[in-house]
Amino acid sequence: MSQTMTNNTSQTQSLANPTTPDNQSYPMIYVNGQMLPKENAKVSVYDHGLLYGDGIFEGIRVYKGKIFKCQQHMQRLFNCTKQIRLELPINQDEMVRIMRRCIEANELSDGYIRLVITRGIGTLGLHPFKCPEPGIICIADQIALYPPEMYQTGMRVVVAQRPRIPIECLDPRIKSLNYLNNILAKIEAIDAGCLEAIMLNTQGFVSECTGDNIFIVKDGVLYTPPSEAGILEGVTRQFVMDTLCPAENLTVKEKMLHLDDVLNADEVFLTGSAAEIIAVTRIDQKTTHTIITDGEGSITQKLRLRFRAIVTGDNIPED
């Protein structure tokens, strides 16, 4: 066996089986083959993930120690690496072992995984292929986007003035490390005293929120924007469409939505790995506001409660 092949094999084994320091503290974070306490988990200032947002990530939920929809997340992650022409030194199974190692190291039962893949350390220039080795970071910790009571009362959102980046400029199905478009819309929401904003695409159709997908209910039928509206195809969104709606005998359709469709809906709710399922009860624009419903709608509640029953049950889907 050549020296190069030996080094590659050693690197892969190190990535999938990280070393852990004796003086362990929490949370422990996987960084490029090592399991490190939070205060020591660092990346180079020459990493192109930091310099240029060159990389991708996944946000993944853990329920009762199981990785929710693990296979679907892995497929999306590795599809994204192909789209940005980033070659990983490990396969999907080895990536899953890293996540499970982080869950175990942090004694995590219910929580959240942030898997970050960077282009790696390179030069002070955009050239991605001068980064010889990608960075792999795995954080397993807790997350709470919204107060617990908001899941019963619903949330207020604003309509962002900043549009979604067009698909032709940056395909949103690439879960890029560069979230500045979303962050600037999020700032609009924070300035208005709320936590989320509905983003429209440059044609004026509803796309998604800054960190969540959006659904509406009208006359008992669910609608959600399709991929061509400029959305990230969320894993929780797909779970609602493929599993929860059939279980509740609900019809769901992908449809290009005008803002008026949302403002005149019977119910509106958001989905996301971190957010799960949460109702929207009020939508504010520059000078007007629209009350959608007084508290969580009945269909939203059915879906949310079924989702919670599944993720707290004995058969949490990992495929």
Between CA 247 and CA 307 the distance in angstroms is 10
Give the mean pLDDT of 84-97. 97
Give the mean pLDDT of 222-226. 98
Instruction: Please determine, for residue 314, whether its predicted confidence score (pLDDT) is greater than 90.
Output: yes
Say what percent of the chain tops pLDDT 70: 92
Question: For 233, which DSSP code?
Answer: -
Cβ-Cβ contacts under 8 Å for 301 (sequence gap 6 or more): 279
Burial of 60 (0-12, 13-18, 19+ CB in 10 A): buried
* Cβ pair 16, 102 in contact under 8 A: no
Give the mean pLDDT of 279-301. 95
How would residue 2 be classed by pLDDT, with cut points 50, 70 and 90?
very low
Residue 153, amino acid: T
Instruction: Please determine, for residue 3, whether its predicted confidence score (pLDDT) is greater than 80.
Output: no
Instruction: Please determine, for residue 25, whether its predicted confidence score (pLDDT) is greater than 90.
Output: no
* Residue-level pLDDT at 192: 96
Residue 128, amino acid: P
Model confidence over 123-159: pLDDT tens digits? 999 999 999 999 999 999 999 889 999 999 999 999 9
Give the mean pLDDT of 45-56. 98
* Residue-level pLDDT at 83: 97
Residue 295, both tokens: 């508290």
How would residue 310 be classed by pLDDT, with cut points 50, 70 and 90?
very high
Question: For 23, which DSSP code?
Answer: S
Residue 304, both tokens: 């949310």
Q: Give CA angle at 64 (60, 68), nearest 5°.
A: 30
Instruction: Please determine, for residue 111, whether its predicted confidence score (pLDDT) is greater than 60.
Output: yes
Q: What is the longest distance spanned by two Cα atoms in the chain?
A: 70
Whole-number Cα distances in Å, 134 to 90, 117, 120, 128, 290: 11, 7, 4, 10, 46
* Residue-level pLDDT at 239: 98
Instruction: Please determine, for residue 34, whether its predicted confidence score (pLDDT) is greater than 60.
Output: yes
Model confidence over 228-277: pLDDT tens digits? 999 999 999 999 999 999 999 999 999 999 999 999 999 999 999 999 99
Instruction: Please determine, for residue 16, whether its predicted confidence score (pLDDT) is greater than 80.
Output: no
Topology (CATH level 3) of domain 150-311: D-amino Acid Aminotransferase; Chain A, domain 2 (3.20.10)
Residues paired with 34 in a beta bridge: 19, 31
Tell me which residues are annotated as active site.
Answer: 175
Between CA 309 and CA 319 the distance in angstroms is 18
* Residue-level pLDDT at 89: 95
Residue 292, both tokens: 């959608």
Average pLDDT, the chain: 93
Q: Classify domain 9-141 at the CATH class level.
A: alpha beta
How would residue 9 be classed by pLDDT, with cut points 50, 70 and 90?
very low
How would residue 24 be classed by pLDDT, with cut points 50, 70 and 90?
low
Residue 291, both tokens: 């009350």
* Residue-level pLDDT at 267: 98
Domain definitions of the chain by residue range:
9-141, 150-311
* Cβ pair 245, 222 in contact under 8 A: yes
How would residue 26 be classed by pLDDT, with cut points 50, 70 and 90?
confident
How would residue 20 be classed by pLDDT, with cut points 50, 70 and 90?
low
Question: For 165, which DSSP code?
Answer: P
Burial of 192 (0-12, 13-18, 19+ CB in 10 A): middle
